[in-house]
Amino acid sequence: MTEIINKKEVQGAPSKKVAIKTVKNIDQAHFELKRITDRTSGTFQDKAIKVVDDILKNVNERGDEALKEYTSRFDGFLAETFEVPSDLILKAWAETPRELQDSLLLAKKRIEKFHSLQLPKNINHTGPYGEFLGRRWSPVEKAGIYVPGGRAAYPSTVLMNAIPAYVAGVNQTIMVSPANEEGELNQTVLAAAHITGIDKVFRMGGAQAIGALASGTESIPKVDVITGPGNIYVTLAKKKVYGKVGIDSLAGPSEILIIADQSAKLEHVASDMLAQSEHDPLASAILITTDKNLAEKLPAEIERQLINHPRLEICQESINNWGLIILCDLLDTCAKLSDTFAPEHLELLVKNPQELSKSIKNAGAIFMGPWSPEAIGDYLGGPNHTLPTSGTARFASALGVETFMKNTSIIDFSEEAFNENKNAVVQLAHSEGLHSHAESIRIRDSKSY
């Protein structure tokens, strides 16, 4: 077994060549998967933390004045006001082509239906001595949704964040998104904001937008929960404000892992890997396969599909640096390697995906078979596309209705229940050395302790 096959330089690329690494050795596979997981850590992140700290401090102290300065510096336009007027949002919807309107409405319908099934149930329990115990769910008052700009427009992010907030019953939903140099937001993003009932839309992005939502400014309401993906500055800002507000997760660069056997079609695997790579130069696309023929032919097929690709350079940088092919003897080994990586998106392009899925423990979302490409989940499958990245699927979950809700415990003891449990409470309080805890029980009872 060779440890690593040298990078295969694929011929026929329209510009620089694509090089995708292939490994056969399991130890080397673990090394490469860890390298990909850790791709955003290091010196750059340390420098970004200082930048984010300064921005958050400045926004907290100077409010809108600081926001205007950062918007001018980073987004390239001078903002007299940040809020997008409601008539412009309605105009964006009215001017959206009918076919795109229908697609947005279909996605909204499917996402809303699935998320309505997530509403948690209250617990109402009566104990053996008449005590009532409960857990009551309620929505947060205000939610802030971050929608990225920059490399692409993401109306799907609007749907995937605003709809769960709406289903949860959030009273006010506020969206922030960076505008272009003319101070304009993407029209389809605004159209999605219209159909999801977002209350306010603000033209701002970056760590400064997160700081504004977390602290509140003269024009930006302070929220209770912030959700939505962004670049490293947005992610670090969310990490810093957590505790002051709730957040959904700390999203890293997007990733896909495909497990494939001899039943998988070469062109499907290549296109699904490129669908992830075109997001960002830091996006990662990984194939773990038992089919040697697929592993050998994939680089050339990726190169073929990149001809005249509108996001060629992004795809090439992603594939060159963070693409990977792992060749295994058994599907069971493929599944174990996948669980080690804990991918954001996992595609099972195998003969029996339902059976293989039973052995998967760590994945943000699993896409079963050839008719469930990851793009279905990105737009209108129903489950949320905001998923744990960078190995956090080991303990984290997709954004959902519960992200915008909290629960309150209810304890209502009867006198009988109190008397039946009082001695145990006193013993436990004394074991912790908490005198007044025990005294609060004793004072309610006629007996002496």
439 as an active site residue: the answer is no
How deeply is 54 buried, as exposed, middle or buried, from its count of CB atoms within 10 A (0-12, 13-18, 19+)? exposed
* Mean predicted lDDT score pLDDT of the chain: 93
How deeply is 103 buried, as exposed, middle or buried, from its count of CB atoms within 10 A (0-12, 13-18, 19+)? middle
Which tens digits make up the pLDDT trace of 320-371? 999 999 999 999 999 999 999 999 999 999 999 999 999 999 999 999 999 9
**Fold classification of 44-251 (topology level):** Rossmann fold (3.40.50)
345 as an active site residue: the answer is yes
- pLDDT score recorded for residue 380: 96
Share of the chain above pLDDT 70, in %: 94
Short-list 85, 72, 44, 10, CA closest to 320: 10
What mean pLDDT comes out for the span 179-193?
95
- pLDDT score recorded for residue 87: 96
What mean pLDDT comes out for the span 281-297?
97
Q: What is the location of CATH 3.40.50.1980 in the chain?
A: 4-40+252-381, 44-251
* Cα separation, 229 vs 200, whole angstroms: 19
Which tens digits make up the pLDDT trace of 129-157? 999 999 999 999 999 999 998 666 899 99
Q: How many residues does the chain have?
A: 449
What mean pLDDT comes out for the span 410-414?
97
Which tens digits make up the pLDDT trace of 11-69? 344 456 778 999 999 999 999 999 999 987 765 677 889 999 999 999 999 999 999 99
| Residue 188 vs residues 58, 153, 155, 193, 322: alpha-carbon distances, Å | 32, 8, 6, 8, 31
- pLDDT score recorded for residue 251: 86
* Cα separation, 293 vs 303, whole angstroms: 16
Over 50: is that where the pLDDT of 9 sits?
no
- pLDDT score recorded for residue 11: 39
Over 60: is that where the pLDDT of 402 sits?
yes
Query: Higher model confidence: residue 429 or residue 77?
Result: 429
What mean pLDDT comes out for the span 222-243?
96
246-247 and 172-177: which strand pairing? unpaired
Q: Which amino acid is at 191?
A: A
The answer to whether the CB of 323 falls within 8 A of the CB of 281 is: no
- pLDDT score recorded for residue 8: 40
Over 60: is that where the pLDDT of 234 sits?
yes
- Band (pLDDT 50/70/90 cuts) for residue 4 is very low
- pLDDT score recorded for residue 40: 78
From 11-25, 166-180, 235-249, 396-410, the region with the lowest mean pLDDT: 11-25
- Class assignment of domain 4-40+252-381? alpha beta
What mean pLDDT comes out for the span 272-297?
96
Q: Which of 255, 317, 344, 347 is catalytic?
A: 344
User: What's the farthest any 2 CA atoms get from each other in the chain?
Assistant: 90
Q: Which of 115, 194, 279, 345 is catalytic?
A: 345
The structure tokens listed for 379 are 């737009």
